[in-house]
Structure 1
Amino acid sequence: MARWTVGIVGAGKIGRMITALLKTSSHYDIRVIDHDTESLAQIGTPGVQVLQADVTDAPALTQALTGCDAVISAAPFFLTPAIATAAKAAGAHYFDLTEDVAATDAVRGLAEGANTAFMPQCGLAPGFVGIAGADLAAQFDELDTLSLRVGALPLYPTNALKYNLTWSTDGLINEYLNPCDALLDGQPVKLAPLEDLEIIGHDGVEYECFNTSGGLGTLSESLAGKARRVSYRTIRYPGHRDIIKLLLDDLGLARRRDLLKEVFETALPRTKQDMVLVYCTATGIRDGVFTERSYINKSTAREIAGKTWSAIQVTTAAGVTAVVDLMRQGRLPRAGFVGQEQVGLSDFLSTEFGALYGPGTVTALDTAA
């Protein structure tokens, strides 16, 4: 089977995890590109080529990516268009983790008429949750509602927010401030972030959920007119949402993103003792009966390649590496825009990387045929 060279742009927490995962496979040669030599020095994975390049320098980045079969952007969302453009110029398939809607729209524009595939939003949410949600939706003869809920949470919350930083602060702020895609009465709408508070429970623990941006991916388009209501919300411990609204609205930090980022990064500790909870529920008609079915997935930190990786690192990296592997095997389209709902859940879980979501971490009903 084909051996691929994969270029990973970004040597941060997720970039390092993607590198470590791909290196466990015999099917990949890996090239990591970043402007920061200190970040590159932390890769620490033998046999990986590291290249220092300015991501905003289009010719330099294109040259660094030349010869790659696939490019994965693990860089901040605002660099997405530049990286996707360089991947196209280098003739490589493109994947990213972004939750940013504008960045995804830019990638879709590049995908039009392209000879290579462009597959953004391949992490956890958007990403895996869209794959799981689409599979759940396919189990109904007539879909009524689809509710997707995802949270990356500390196992042992101690502060008032009951939250630790486990991934991109820029991405977190984006989720809390930008409009949220949804379907209401079968039609695409934009909802306000941090609204529509609800309470759910799992394993005897109560959580709150509220609207955040980006997690739905392209499901709101693919299910338009096919479901009455489709929504995405973030899971947090109770009380988190109200404190965030105080910071953003009453103290005005929504208008001062740089200061908000500084506050988060200096006041909230980081942890690898985290968990990721995926909580998908659908209602509709099955065999003539109004039915509800759910897919629940809970992951915690684990050891891979001799190192301990947080749950958010593992689930995010597994999301993108699994779809890269499916494309390498010829099981996904290799030209134009590819959405997460085009990936079968059983296909995803059958890959060596998707298996990280498998038995031992999943409580799920049967997947769709």
Structure 2
Amino acid sequence: MARWKICIVGAGKIGQMIAALLKTSVHYDVRVIDRDANGLAQIETTGVEVKQIDVEDARALTEAFGGCDAVISAAPFFLTPAIATAAKAAGAHYFDLTEDVAATDAVRALARDAETAFMPQCGLAPGFVGIAGADLADQFDELDTLSLRVGALPLYPTNALKYNLTWSTDGLINEYLNPCDALIDGRPVKVAPLEDLEIISHDGVDYECFNTSGGLGTLSESLSGKARRVSYRTIRYPGHRDIIKLLLDDLGLARRRDLLKEVFETALPRTKQDVVLVFCTATGMKNGVFTERSYVNKSTARQIAGKTWSAIQVTTAAGVTAVVDLMRQGKLPAKGFIGQEQVQLDDFLATEFGALYGAGAVTPLDRAA
């Protein structure tokens, strides 16, 4: 099978991780583009081809995608429509990591008459959690509830928020402020962010969970009328939600996203000593018995290609590179819009990149019981 050429847009922390993973494989040639020379310089030292261009220049973007089998966007969500449009013009398959609903809708519109595949929301959440959730749902004769819970957390919390920055600040703010998708009584609805607070426990540690935007992906559509309740909530250490509500509501920072971003990036240190927890639970009828099943995955930072990468970098990059690999193998539709629930979990975990999630599995894949 011929090697694929991949163009990654974005030389930030996730873009660097994606490039590093693909570089370890014999199946890919990699090019990274960005306007930021500093980020590109870090990648260039690894032997990956880099090109500095203005990502908002449509012609330059399309030319940069020329000859590529696939484009992976690791750029900010507001650049998604422009990047996806250029990928379509260049005849390349398109993948991204966005959690932004409007950006996903723009990609879906581009996919309607496309001759290549368009697959947004391919990271951790949305992304892997949707694949795991769909697999869990398929294990029931009749699904009642599906609860998806995901958190990227510091291993050693030290501040009142019990939180460190581990990924995009813009994406984090989006999650805390935008309406959230859910299924209630079998119908797709929008629910308020930061609400529906609950407590879960794992390995003797208590966590809180609350609504955040974007993590459910397209599951609310595909399970509409097939389940009574489906929800996505973010995992944090207890007390985090109340402080965020104070900042957003009482201090009015919900109306000052620019100031909120500055506060977060000034006051919250970044860390590579993190943990990513995926906690999915479903209930329903199985062989005539009302049954509950869970899937839990816990990942920490690790060494890859001689460098330490954070858990959020590894899980996000593994999410998108695994589905790209499935496309290369011909295991996904070759054109049109693709949702995460169209990916088989076993196929995902069997790829060289999905195996990184397999290493973090806490519960075995037991579908026979």
TM (norm. structure 2) is: 0.99
Aligned positions of 1:18-97 closer than 5 A: 18-97=18-97
Match of 1:191 in 2: 191
Match of 1:248 in 2: 248
Residue 153, structure 1, aligned to residue 153, structure 2: yes
Whether the 8 Å CA contact 1:77–1:98 is kept in 2: the answer is yes
What is the CA-CA distance between 1:362 and the residue it aligns to?
Answer: 3.3
Whether the 8 Å CA contact 2:149–2:232 is kept in 1: the answer is yes
Residue 114, structure 1, aligned to residue 109, structure 2: no
Alpha-carbon distance between aligned partners in 1 of 2:149 and 2:137, rounded to the nearest angstrom: 15
Alpha-carbon distance between aligned partners in 2 of 1:159 and 1:368, rounded to the nearest angstrom: 44
Alpha-carbon distance between aligned partners in 1 of 2:154 and 2:207, rounded to the nearest angstrom: 13
Residue 267, structure 1, aligned to residue 267, structure 2: yes
Whether the 8 Å CA contact 2:54–2:60 is kept in 1: the answer is yes
Match of 2:10 in 1: 10
Identity percentage over the alignment?
Answer: 86
Alpha-carbon distance between aligned partners in 2 of 1:260 and 1:66, rounded to the nearest angstrom: 39
Alpha-carbon distance between aligned partners in 2 of 1:344 and 1:358, rounded to the nearest angstrom: 14
- Residues 161 and 360 from structure 1, CA distance in 2 versus in 1: closer, same or farther, beyond 3 angstroms? closer
Alpha-carbon distance between aligned partners in 1 of 2:39 and 2:14, rounded to the nearest angstrom: 12
Whether the 8 Å CA contact 1:345–1:367 is kept in 2: the answer is no
Whether the 8 Å CA contact 1:144–1:284 is kept in 2: the answer is yes
Whether the 8 Å CA contact 1:135–1:367 is kept in 2: the answer is no
What is the CA-CA distance between 1:43 and the residue it aligns to?
Answer: 1.1
What is the CA-CA distance between 1:367 and the residue it aligns to?
Answer: 4.8
Q: What per-residue deviation string (whole Å, max 9, x for no partner) do you get for residues 299-349 of structure 1?
A: 000000000000000000000000000000100001000000000000000
Match of 1:285 in 2: 285
Unpaired runs of 5+ residues, structure 2, are none
Partner SS for 2:221: helix
Q: What per-residue deviation string (whole Å, max 9, x for no partner) do you get for residues 153-198 of structure 1?
A: 0000000000000000000000000000000000000000000000
Q: CA RMSD in A?
A: 1.1
Alpha-carbon distance between aligned partners in 2 of 1:48 and 1:333, rounded to the nearest angstrom: 28
Match of 1:134 in 2: 134
What is the CA-CA distance between 1:42 and the residue it aligns to?
Answer: 1.4
Whether the 8 Å CA contact 1:293–1:365 is kept in 2: the answer is no
Whether the 8 Å CA contact 1:302–1:310 is kept in 2: the answer is yes
Whether the 8 Å CA contact 1:2–1:328 is kept in 2: the answer is no
Match of 2:327 in 1: 327
Aligned positions of 1:352-367 closer than 5 A: 352-359=352-359, 361-367=361-367
Aligned positions of 1:172-321 closer than 5 A: 172-321=172-321
What is the CA-CA distance between 1:366 and the residue it aligns to?
Answer: 1.8
Whether the 8 Å CA contact 1:125–1:216 is kept in 2: the answer is yes
Whether the 8 Å CA contact 1:2–1:329 is kept in 2: the answer is no
Whether the 8 Å CA contact 1:294–1:365 is kept in 2: the answer is no
Q: Count matched residues.
A: 369
TM (norm. structure 1) is: 0.99
What is the CA-CA distance between 1:2 and the residue it aligns to?
Answer: 2.5
Partner SS for 1:362: coil
What is the CA-CA distance between 1:360 and the residue it aligns to?
Answer: 5.0
In the alignment, residue 181 of structure 2 is paired with which amino acid?
D
What is the CA-CA distance between 1:368 and the residue it aligns to?
Answer: 7.8
Which one is further off, 18-27 or 359-368?
Answer: 359-368
Q: What per-residue deviation string (whole Å, max 9, x for no partner) do you get for residues 255-277 of structure 1?
A: 00000000000000000000000
Q: What per-residue deviation string (whole Å, max 9, x for no partner) do you get for residues 274-302 of structure 1?
A: 00000000000000000000000000000
Match of 1:350 in 2: 350
What is the CA-CA distance between 1:45 and the residue it aligns to?
Answer: 4.8
Unpaired runs of 5+ residues, structure 1, are none
What is the CA-CA distance between 1:39 and the residue it aligns to?
Answer: 1.1
